[in-house]
Amino acid sequence: MIGASFDSTKTPLHDLLARADGGKLQLPDFQRGWVWDDDRIRSLLASVSVSFPIGAVMLLETGGEHVRFKPRPLAGTHVRLRHMAPETLILDGQQRLTSLYQALMAEVAVETKDAKGKPIRRWYYLDMKKAVTNEDDREDALLSVPEDRQVKAFGGEITLDVTTPEREHAADLFPVNRIFDSADWRQAYSEHWNFDRDKMRLFNEFEREVIKRFEQYQMPVIELKKETPKEAVCLVFERVNTGGVALNVFELLTASFAAEDFQLRDDWNVREQHLKGQHPVLRNLQSDDFLQAISLLVTQARRREAQAAGTSADKAPGISCKRKDILKLEVADWRTWAERVEAGFVRAARFLYGQKIFKARDLPYRTQLVPLAAVFVDLGKDGETEGARQKIARWYWCGVLGELYGGAIESRFARDLPEVVAMVREAAAEPITIQESSFQANRLLTLRTRNSSAYKGLYALLMRDGGRDFRTGEAIEAQTFFDDKVDIHHIFPEKWCKAANINPGTYNSVINKTALAARTNRQIGGRAPSKYLPAIEKAAGVGTERMDEILRSHCISPAELRADRFWEFYAARAEELLQRIESATGKAITREPDLFRAGVVAEAYDEGPEEWDAEEPLEEAVS
């Protein structure tokens, strides 16, 4: 239980900063450098100066068996701390404590940035007169001074110069980095003014109203004990962290592996560049996807080892890629599996190209890449045959068209790996994903945008199963896909449909769309099919019979299209698409009589706000 493994208390701000200054309080390596801007630092200092709350910080006690992170001292601390072992690590509050440390304790200017994000260095001062007379707007008393301690007007004229302590004294400006060590500055200030009573009174009031508040300021601190498991550290941090860089499983493992001198991020960056650079369909692949695939294979290997040693199936460790299992991965696991998993994703990409899915934008589910890559790794050469490809393809399309990978899917991944492998090797029945997959005929009417995996899936299926470009008659392969800028376009153009008073929800359905090259789409323009088909035939030197063959490759009835009979075309194409889905999934689809008839479609599926695909280019008119 997390509740039994932490303490909650209040700690003096000075104590926290002193611990950081001595190296006892540091950052874990997953906390990347992140700089607050100048205005935010001034606001933070102002809040402390009037005892306003600035939020709690969360710390983690070091020395535990579950969590070992490579530490990193706070920015601005002495370089000698790099080799010191801390007692606690900052999980939440890095930006606040780093900003406060640099402003209040450091002997160098604070690293910050201006309103435009440009890096700058600043010293902070408190105007003592303003500070004691206007507590309601303490920020007005806080000055941000450039690194050279001179404030200049636009023309270069110096309007403030605090380059020496004497000039600080003369201007009644107290340097914020002397807050916790003010005695010597006060003495010099008093001597500068020859112990003037008014100046002595001013400093006494400033000390009481400002300095003491810094000295007595208490910060709420939640400290996780060293017994806290790594999963809990990740979970708690995600829930309390509202700024900076969000912590994820990869960040935690990066810090954990760094404690064993393995730079996970560097290794992953090389693999990521290779995968994404050579395979456009993998452009959206994430580090956590890669870790999930490794976790599936590691836990499966452990399960097999346990069963080989005589452990019964119900007592053997389970296959899993949940966060808690990923966080148990060790450097040795990465070294053993990373190369193979990278190769598994490459094979997954090549498989997808065979299914005519070429770009990450058109990938129905990024998540399904995880079990797909793991399956190819586990199958090895057994996954290279045509028979294996057909079985994997059936499982893949059941997942896509059954829309089964959009929610919490870690448990499905864990079933997919052994079940798909067993199916390919003819050692078991159909995987659960195939058994659970189903497609309702009326779903065709609501597939209108790339937000739907089945929408993108049907687009790819039409190309996979022989769809040819209207103009060139070529099958759509990777080269032509990119060279010809193939995309999803209307068959009955939008302009024509509007003129025919067809509802947008109807004509934007996937039933009225197919894969076409950009140039072909421009030739179509907004004209009726009876007009654009003869024009395409003439321009391309294609006969009517050949053009009809091309249309059929897209599940289009040539007779209905040529006669501009939208509803007859609509019903016929819907039936053809359902047959394509049945062929891809091996699952029968129940039909509803007259489902795609004009009145039924308009009344049942065209009500309510329409969802548009902003990525899809509109048809361009042709003169």
Q: How many CB atoms lie under 10 A from the CB of residue 231?
A: 20
- The answer to which of 211-215, 441-445, 537-541 has the lowest mean pLDDT is 537-541
Average pLDDT rounded to a whole number, residues 126-142: 88
Give the per-residue pLDDT at 600: 62
Give the per-residue pLDDT at 473: 79
Percent of the residues in the chain that have a pLDDT greater than 70, as a whole number: 89
Average pLDDT rounded to a whole number, residues 569-594: 94
Give the per-residue pLDDT at 396: 98
Greater confidence (42 vs 481) lies with 42
Give the per-residue pLDDT at 154: 82
Greater confidence (437 vs 6) lies with 437
Over residues 50-80, the pLDDT tens digits come to 999 998 888 988 877 666 777 888 888 888 8
Give the per-residue pLDDT at 244: 45
Residue with tokens 């067809």: 502
Give the per-residue pLDDT at 613: 44
Per-residue pLDDT band at 237 (split at 50, 70, 90): low
Contact 95, 32 (CB under 8 A): no
Give the per-residue pLDDT at 483: 63
Give the per-residue pLDDT at 615: 37
Q: Could you tell me the pTM of the whole model?
A: 0.72
* Interatomic CA distance for residues 29 and 259, integer angstroms: 9
Give the per-residue pLDDT at 247: 59
Average pLDDT rounded to a whole number, residues 92-98: 89
Q: For Cα atoms 278, 280, 284, give the angle at the middle one, nearest 5 degrees.
A: 115
Sequence letter at residue 95: Q
Domain ranges, ordered by start, for the chain? 2-108+218-250+252-258, 111-215, 262-437, 449-605
474-499 in b/e burial notation, b at 16+ Cβ within 10 A?
eebeeebbeebebbbbbbbbbbbbee
Average model confidence (pLDDT) across the chain: 88
Give the per-residue pLDDT at 616: 40
Q: Is the pLDDT of residue 243 over 60?
A: no
- The answer to which of 93-107, 225-239, 363-377, 527-541 has the lowest mean pLDDT is 225-239
Give the per-residue pLDDT at 242: 46
Per-residue pLDDT band at 313 (split at 50, 70, 90): confident
Per-residue pLDDT band at 245 (split at 50, 70, 90): very low
- DSSP H helices, 241-330, are 249-258, 264-278, 287-308, 323-326
Q: Is 525 left (phi over 0), alpha (psi -120 to 50) or beta?
A: left
Over residues 325-351, the pLDDT tens digits come to 998 899 999 999 999 999 999 999 999
